[in-house]
Amino acid sequence: MRTSASRQPKSWCTVTVYEERSLAGEVILPAPRGGMGAMLRRMGAPIRSALLWGAGAALVGALVGLTLEMLTHLNEGQYQGGGDPFDWWFVWQSVLSAEAVCLCAIVVVRYTLPQYDGMAALSRYALIMVSLLGGTFVATAFSLLTRPAVLIARPMTFLALAIMNSLLAMMLGASLITWETLRRSLEKSYEQLREKEAIEREMSVAREVQRDLLPDGPPVVPGYDVAFVCRSAEAVGGDTVDFVPLPGERLGLVIGDVVGKGIAAALQMANVQALVRALAPLEENPQRLNTLISEAVGARMKPGRFITLAYVMLDPPSGSLRYSLAGHHPPIIFGPQGTRELERGGLPLGILAGIPYEEGSDCLQPGESMILFTDGVIEAPPEDGSDDEFGKDRVVAIGESAYRFHPQEMLERILSELDSFRGRLPAFDDTTLVIVRRLPVSEAS
């Protein structure tokens, strides 16, 4: 194969690499240049670290040996003259012992501990201590082999040197144990932080998805004003509200609540919401719609979980209402003729398959307002921690005094009263409200 004379440099990590190319431009063989220098640069940090450890160990060992030998001579009154000369052998043996302990520490930290990362903490600590004391023992044994007569000539000095080196090994071991504990604690904290950040990212995505599933705003219905709010107690919630266009220019009002909150509840409610959007335009009877949805979600519903739903079909020109409740709080209608509730329905969705639901009918007269809500409104606890709840009576009182106003104003009044009642307590459940007002004839015209 013929090759070109030129070589093209490329950056490969931190090493300059040249590619050998054929005349056709094919890469034949990368030829690294300066490979030994790059290897030394990559190995530079560990080597420098080992050299610093070794230099520090030598310094400490020398200081221990010098101190011991000077104290020995001072104690014997020989430092000023007379007696045996200053014995540098003890200094060198102290340095040797310190280097042995340093070598054992490097081996334990860089090679041994990573291999036994899953070992129990006490076992790892024992491994550190045994390794460092083992290094001291080996250095002491080597010293005896090189000068066995020291046990006869100066046994106490040799014993003191061995004890001091052992104490230094134990101090270093304690430092390594502290470092190891701190390292593992930091690693655990870092992993927890990464998991928390991952969960927060997932929750943020789930919150955005759930927000996209909610209506962008209230529907525009001639002759009516509509307002709604859906506030989650957590990042995502188990409440939903929807406005489904139906054939014949009718409107389906949907409000639901899953027992619980969080991602699991949000996923279940998203499933129900999708079923309602798909089936409502095809099913004329509200009770039949609830039966179909209950059978669909009940097949996969876990024990102890259920979903409440209120479905109301509104015919705007006549104001007629057809509805069916699946264990949900009855919608309330306020008007000049008094207050009434829409109570027909059945059990929550998914509890018993095949159980029929009842259907009710009513008519929203001009000047009347209808409110739909979830239990996060009426079951909100007070700030003082008593057994009192916000309750339906407070909602009714606000509705009776504000049904003549725009639904948004009634909504804000309820939320203001609710926030004042709850005080500084965080919301324990999702809060969802839908208010529909049929304009009086004078305003509609």
What residues contact residue 208 under an 8 Å CB cut-off, 6+ apart?
none
CA–CA–CA angle 426, 386, 389 (5° rounding): 70
Question: Residues 60-98: pLDDT tens digits?
Answer: 878 887 887 787 767 655 444 544 567 788 888 888 888
Q: How far is CA 145 from the centre of its chain?
A: 60
| Model confidence pLDDT, tens digit, residues 130-177 | 888 888 888 888 887 888 877 777 788 788 888 888 888 888 888 888
Neighbouring residues of 352: CB distance < 8 A, sequence distance ≥ 6: 298
Query: Is pLDDT of 3 > 60?
Result: no
CA–CA separation, 376 and 391 (whole Å)? 10
Q: What is the mean pLDDT of the chain?
A: 81
pLDDT at residue 367 above 70?
Answer: yes
What integer pLDDT is reported at residue 243 of this predicted model? 95
Is residue 219 over pLDDT 70? yes
Task: Give the closest residue to 427 by CA, choosing from 272, 264, 230.
Answer: 230
Give the pLDDT confidence of 95-137 residue by residue, as tens digits: 888 888 888 887 887 777 777 777 787 887 888 888 888 888 8
Residues recorded for the chain: 445
Given this model, what pLDDT does residue 90 score?
82
Task: Give the integer Cα–Cα distance in Å for 393 and 329.
Answer: 13
pLDDT value at residue 45: 63
What domains can be seen in the chain, in order of their start residue?
Answer: 1-33 (no CATH), 37-179 (no CATH), 214-444 (3.60.40.10)
- Round to whole Å and give the CA distance between 227 and 415: 13
- Residue-level pLDDT at 261: 66
Mean pLDDT to the nearest integer, 54-63: 80
Closest CA to 164 of 104, 101, 108: 101
Three-state secondary structure call for residue 362? strand
Of the segments 94-98, 131-135, 375-379, 394-398, which one has the largest average pLDDT value? 394-398
Residue-wise DSSP of 375-412: HHHHTPPPTT--S---HHHHHHHHHHHHTTS-HHHHHH
pLDDT at residue 35, rounded to an integer: 54
What is the average per-residue pLDDT within 320-337? 95
**Which contiguous run of DSSP H or E holds residue 224?**
strand 224-231
Contact predicate 238/257, CB 8 Å: yes
Q: Are 328 and 343 in contact (CB under 8 A)?
A: no
Which of 369, 392, 372, 379 lies closest to 433, judged by CA? 372
Q: How confident is the model at residue 440 (pLDDT cuts 50, 70, 90)?
A: very high
Give the highest mean pLDDT range of 133-147, 151-165, 270-284, 296-310. 270-284
Pair 216, 243: CB distance under 8 Å: no
What is the full DSSP assignment across 279-322? HGGG---HHHHHHHHHHHHHTTPPTT--EEEEEEEEETTTTEEE
More confident residue, 243 or 209: 243
From the list 314, 279, 301, the residue with the least C-alpha distance to 347 is 301
User: What single letter denotes the amino acid at residue 307?
Assistant: I
Is the full-model pTM beyond 0.75? no
Instruction: Please tell me the distance from the alpha carbon of residue 72 to that of residue 347, in angstroms, as a whole number.
Output: 94
Report percent pLDDT > 70 for the chain.
84
Q: What is the pLDDT of residue 42?
A: 55
pLDDT, one tens digit per residue, over 234-254 is: 777 788 899 999 999 999 999
pLDDT of 225 > 80? The answer is yes
**pLDDT value for 187:** 85
β-strands 369-373, 332-335 pairing: antiparallel
Is the model's pLDDT at 26 over the cut of 60? no
Could you tell me the CA-to-CA distances from 186 to 124, 175, 183, 190 in Å, in that order? 17, 16, 5, 6
